[in-house]
Structure 1
Amino acid sequence: MAPPLAQSSNPFAMDSDLNDPHSMGTTIIGVTYEGGVVLGADSRTSTGMYVANRASDKITQLTDNIYVCRSGSAADSQIVSDYVRYFLHQHTIQLGQPATVKVAANLLRLFSYQNKNMLQTGLIVGGWDKYEGGQIYSIPLGGTILRQPFTIGGSGSSYLYGFFDQAWKEGMSKDEAEKLVVKAVSLAIARDGASGGVVRTVVINGDGVRRNFYSGDSLPLWHEELEPRNSLLDILSAAAATSPDPMNI
């Protein structure tokens, strides 16, 4: 007769997700418009099935006029962005002028390709320079580089390809492009369990850079989405503020 299976004293033994690395099941988007680019991302960072950070910033500045959207492993994408920011700074000092978007994208591509067996990150580079205007480059896993008029990445992107084929158009205005990005991220949040939180956008053009923030309760609700409700902690905090006696809460 086979001996009974030993039972672990660890109550979390069946939950292997506790030991998973921090990763960004993500929705990141880059869109060109007439005169510049708009980058957008959600803000949920997860550790397995748990949300480690619900308000993380996945759009990282590389230079004054170039930003990168990060997806995949948060640690991998952060270290690659830090290295590239350093080299772009050196590049700018040596040349005496800002680096171009193409240079930044190719540096990111080089790091991703040379370390493709160790990195798990997909990137979208967006920026503006005086030579080619607004540009978007996609650098998926493995280190490929593609210049595109619009691109999407992360786990939420699989819900958006058909939407972008229908909604994106040539010659959009800045406001049209930003509204498209916010709408697309909110659609991905509605369907993708790994995307959530707030929506951040970065608008880059010849006049400079503008960052915008859209809170989760300001986003449109889609099919079968539930309206946001206060958490139990919010309810208890509000009750405690009006009643000095905790027994009456």
Structure 2
Amino acid sequence: MKVHYIAPNIYCCGAGTAADADQITELVSNQLALMRLQTGKQSRLVAAMTLLSERLFQYGGNIQAALILGGCDLEGPHLYGIWPEGSVDSLPYDTLGSGSYAAMSVLEHRYKPDMEEAEAIELAADAINAGIFNDLGSGGCPNVRIIRTDGTTDFLYEYRKQNKVEEFRKQYPRPHTLDLPKGTTTVISEIVTPIEH
């Protein structure tokens, strides 16, 4: 799963080594839970961002986790891109990982401030799909986490199912085996080397 729980109002998407993303987000999630118990207050995104970026910086990029941290707190909505070496971007939208160029092209073309929720969900799913279809290492289908300013969240698991292989096979029938008659391919030269045992 590429969407990680950080706090009730904060979630994080990970790219890179899945185990690294799982471990660092779980560590920071536990640290924030302790902070909430001590203070009795909602977690702040700047605190989560600082904990994640400092931990990544300590390891100098050896933790191969690129993270997009998002959520809403008393300061409003925030989105941070956190690179494996600990540097941070704060942008209205962001992409990281091997499919990020294709996803960013969709976001740059269609993003606008103050989008309606349904329109933003479609844009996010289209951007994720662009990353999936244009990169072999980018997952299988979009999962969408919605974090609202009123404190509610929703998770749309496999929001948009990808096309089934069977549907494509029906459209483009081909034989199960490839039978080429002898002589189809011209042999220019032939060398036979006996193998000695």
What code does the residue aligned with 2:47 have?
Answer: V
Equivalent residue number for residue 43 of structure 2? 99
Shift in Å, 1:87: 0.7
Equivalent residue number for residue 70 of structure 2? 126
Equivalent residue number for residue 132 of structure 2? 189
1:73-112 → structure 2 map (5 Å cutoff): 73-112=17-56
Alpha-carbon distance between aligned partners in 2 of 1:142 and 1:121, rounded to the nearest angstrom: 9
How big is the alpha-carbon RMSD for the aligned residues of Structure 1 and Structure 2? 2.1
Change (3 A) 1:141 1:207: closer
Change (3 A) 1:158 1:125: same
Structure 2 residues without counterparts, runs of 5 or longer: 168-197
Shift in Å, 1:174: 0.8
Query: Which of 2, 5, 10 pairs up with 1:66?
Result: 10
Alpha-carbon distance between aligned partners in 1 of 2:78 and 2:137, rounded to the nearest angstrom: 28
Shift in Å, 1:177: 0.7
1:1-150 → structure 2 map (5 Å cutoff): 57-129=1-73, 131-150=74-93
Equivalent residue number for residue 6 of structure 1? none
What code does the residue aligned with 1:90 have?
Answer: L
Query: Which of 164, 173, 198 pairs up with 2:107?
Result: 164
8 Å contact kept, 2:7–2:29: yes
Q: Percent identical across equivalent pairs?
A: 27
Q: Does 1:174 align with 2:111?
A: no
What code does the residue aligned with 2:82 have?
Answer: I
Alpha-carbon distance between aligned partners in 1 of 2:61 and 2:143, rounded to the nearest angstrom: 30
Shift in Å, 1:160: 2.7
Alpha-carbon distance between aligned partners in 1 of 2:115 and 2:100, rounded to the nearest angstrom: 21
What code does the residue aligned with 2:71 have?
Answer: G
TM-score (norm 2): 0.79
Aligned residues: 168
Shift in Å, 1:121: 1.2
Structure 1 residues without counterparts, runs of 5 or longer: 1-56, 222-226, 231-249
Specify which structure has the bigger relative contact order, considering alpha-carbon pairs within 8 angstroms and separated by 6 or more residues: 1
Shift in Å, 1:117: 4.3
What code does the residue aligned with 1:182 have?
Answer: A
Structure 1 runs (4+) greater than 6 angstroms displaced: none
Alpha-carbon distance between aligned partners in 2 of 1:198 and 1:164, rounded to the nearest angstrom: 17
Equivalent residue number for residue 229 of structure 1? 166
Is the deviation greater in 157-166 or in 135-144? 157-166
Equivalent residue number for residue 234 of structure 1? none
Shift in Å, 1:193: 0.9
Higher strand share: 1
